[in-house]
Chain A
């Protein structure tokens, strides 16, 4: 499970370098996110632009990661592909996570306040 991390103006940008977040890798994904989350700043942005498939196992891992960050830190989603958008919409998780279509909107001044 390959993740790359970058500091982006004080936020932690985590890019998922896998094309599927599914039952086969859900545990590794959870572990990898937990590791990067331990010392994460107040905002973690997860770049999903390379992920073409997310099932309920992957979705559960996203929720676990969000909860692990605790109430004082946030996990936002960046550039989910259409199949992933569909899963987020069908499960209504698109109202739980703030979702940004691109880096410009994710890191624009006031983006977090607008995302609510």
Chain B
């Protein structure tokens, strides 16, 4: 395992069913590397949240474009690059991903905002750049993942 450098490359259409298929393939690839199921689950969750965000927001006002996914697994670290040609991130930066909170009553309980909270908590070295009309999101996940912020 140390020194392994296995790539997962995929270009998908930005729609929920294509995301599901990519996640399934991604999980199979990671499992084949010998990564334990509980870690594969965590990795799938983070990538799911990133991809869902692109589908929902980057391509919200335009026909579904493509998402490029590149993953390397190298000795205990997963490096991910996710690229799309959708709208830029508002404010040209990533959401802080604070916990959405609990509201004051059960009526106020937030229904959204958990995605970025999960990404921020599970991914490391998360960066966003707008390069040549594309959004480029990069992050690292250590396995076993160490969610220090929880």
**A interface residues, Cβ below 8 angstroms from B:** 20, 22-24, 53, 55-57, 59-61, 63-64, 66-67, 71, 82-83, 86-87, 90-92, 96
Is the C-beta of B102 less than 8 angstroms from some C-beta in chain A? yes
| Pairs across A and B, CB under 8 Å, 27 listed | A22-B20, A22-B48, A23-B19, A24-B20, A53-B44, A53-B48, A55-B49, A55-B115, A56-B49, A56-B112, A56-B118, A57-B115, A60-B111, A60-B112, A63-B110, A64-B111, A66-B106, A66-B109, A67-B111, A82-B38, A86-B41, A87-B118, A90-B121, A90-B150, A91-B99, A91-B118, A96-B102
Contacts of A64 in B (CB 8 A): 111
Q: Is the CB of A82 within 8 A of B99?
A: no
Task: Add 20 more A-B contacts to A53-B45, A64-B111, A96-B102 (CB < 8 A).
Answer: A23-B48, A24-B17, A55-B45, A56-B49, A56-B115, A56-B117, A59-B114, A61-B111, A63-B109, A66-B106, A67-B107, A67-B109, A67-B111, A71-B106, A86-B41, A87-B45, A90-B118, A90-B121, A90-B122, A90-B150
Inter-chain CA distance A55–B48, complex, in Å, is 7
A23 touching B107 by the CB < 8 A rule? no
Chain B residues near A90: list those with CB within 8 A: 118, 121-122, 147, 150
Which DSSP category, helix, strand, loop or mixed, fits chain A's interface? helix
Give A63's nearest chain B residue, CB to CB.
Answer: B111
